[in-house]
Amino acid sequence: MAQETTLILFKPDAIKQDLVGTVLARYQTEGFKIRGIKMMSLSDEILAEHYAHIAEMPFFPSVRSFMQETPVVALALSGEDVISRVRDLLGPTDSKEAAAGTIRGDFGEKSEDSKMRNICHASDSSEAAEMELKRFFDEDEIVSY
């Protein structure tokens, strides 16, 4: 198994429902280690960069608006195969399709916005994690211990 670090963003629906601690505890129960954590408001620029793959789509303004409803919590989390294991813990992107026992199955919205209001974003590959961690954290904000 590979030691990895991934980015997780607690989205505004998690913030509004006070789920950060509950979800963070699930990650820590799996043995993952916090290497960086902070709350931040997301600018139009960082959202356009983070969502560059959909920034030209007609629905992007609603994604941007949602992600700016509240600050988000950015989390750098490390562990063995953390990228795939976190994604398994989260469940499918669409909360309506997520099984009970997954984070999205237990807490995500079961509405037409269930692909967006799904508690957390998590990096989907080591390449994405590397880029996303640099986007949301300065080098000195991620620690080793």
Residue 112, classified by CB atoms within 10 Å of its CB into exposed (0-12), middle (13-18) or buried (19+), is exposed
pLDDT value at residue 2? 86
What is the mean pLDDT of the segment spanning 70-96?
A: 97
pLDDT value at residue 101? 97
In a domain, 62, yes or no: no
pLDDT, one tens digit per residue, over 6-62 is 999 999 999 999 999 999 999 999 999 999 999 999 999 999 999 999 999 999 999
In a domain, 53, yes or no: no
pLDDT value at residue 59? 93
Provide the CATH number for the domain around residue 129: 3.30.70.141
Percent of the chain scoring above 70 in pLDDT: 100
**3-state secondary structure (DSSP) of residue 104:** helix
In a domain, 52, yes or no: no
pLDDT value at residue 114? 77
Domain count, the chain: 1
In a domain, 144, yes or no: no
Maximal C-alpha separation, the chain: 44
In a domain, 36, yes or no: yes
Boundaries of domain holding 20: 3-40+74-137
In a domain, 83, yes or no: yes
In a domain, 130, yes or no: yes
- In the structure, what pLDDT confidence band is assigned to residue 115 with cuts at 50, 70 and 90? confident
**Which runs of consecutive H residues, i.e. helices, occur in 30-81?**
44-50, 60-67
Residues annotated as catalytic (active site), given as ranges: 121
pLDDT value at residue 145? 82
Sequence-distant (≥ 6) Cβ neighbours of residue 19 within 8 angstroms: 10, 107, 119
pLDDT value at residue 100? 96
What is the mean pLDDT of the segment spanning 104-125?
A: 92
In a domain, 132, yes or no: yes
1 pLDDT exceeds 80? no
113 pLDDT exceeds 90? no
